[in-house]
Amino acid sequence: MRCPSCGESDTRVVDSRDLDDAATIRRRRECATCSTRFTTYERVESARLSVVKRNGERQEFDAAKLARGLERALWRRPVAPDAATRAADEIEAIIRAQGINEVPSSRIGEMAMDRLRLLDQIAYVRFLSVYQSLDDIEQLKREVDELYAARTDEAPGQTSLDLVAAARRAPVPPTRRPARR
C-alpha cells in the first residue's frame, strides 16, 4: 500500500480494527519514509464460485439454474412449492461453507440427488434418468431397486418397474409450469 503523500511503498500498520459489520477492517498505516499516517479499509469480497463441468469448462455457480433443474424433476409431485428453491439454497450454503471456489458439477449433481431421494422418489428417478444419462433400463432398475431396499413403507404389490414406468410416463421435463386452473 503506497503512501498517499510521498509514494513510498514501505508502510506499516499501526492499528487495525474490525468495524461494526465485522466484514470490514479499518487499518491505520504509517509511511516508513515521511511518517504520514493514512487509513485503509479491507472488505470481504463475496467469493466467486465456479462449477467445473465434465469437459473442464468453468461456469459461475447459478443457484437459480440449479433450482430450475430440481423444479423440473419435482414437477407435479406432492412437495412444497418452494422445495426446489430451498434445496438449491441448501446446496449452495453447504458448498460455500467449505470455503472452496471451484466445485465439480458431478458433486452438485450428487447433492441434488441426495435431496431429491428424500423429497420424492419419482422426482429422484426423473433426475437420475436426465442427469446421469441412464439410458440403460437395467441400470435405472438397479438404482430403483436400491431405493426400494432402503424403503420401509413399500406399497404392497408395487414393484420397482412400476416406479420406473411411473417416472417414464411423464419423463419430459417441462420448461415452465402450466397455469393452474
- Binding residues (CB under 5 A) for Zn ion: these are 3, 5-6, 8, 31, 33-34, 36
Q: Give the three-class secondary structure for 16.
A: strand
CB of 38 to Zn ion, least distance (A): 9
Q: Cα-flanking dihedrals φ and ψ of residue 160, to 5°?
A: -60, -35
C-alpha cell at 11: 508502510
CB 142 within 8 Å of CB 149: no
Shortest approach of Zn ion to residue 4 CB, angstroms?
Answer: 8
Give one DSSP letter per residue of 31-65, joined into a string: ETTT--EEEEEEEPPPPP-EEE-TTS-EEE--HHH
- Whichever of 27 and 96 has its CB closer to Zn ion, that residue is 27
Nearer to Zn ion, 31 or 91 (CB): 31
* Closer of 7 and 104 to Zn ion (Cβ): 7
Nearest alpha carbon to residue 160 among 147, 171, 179: 147
- Min dist. Cβ of residue 49 to Zn ion (A): 39
Closest CB to Zn ion among residues 31, 167: 31
Q: Rounded to the nearest whole angstrom, what is the least distance from the CB of residue 9 to Zn ion in the complex?
A: 10
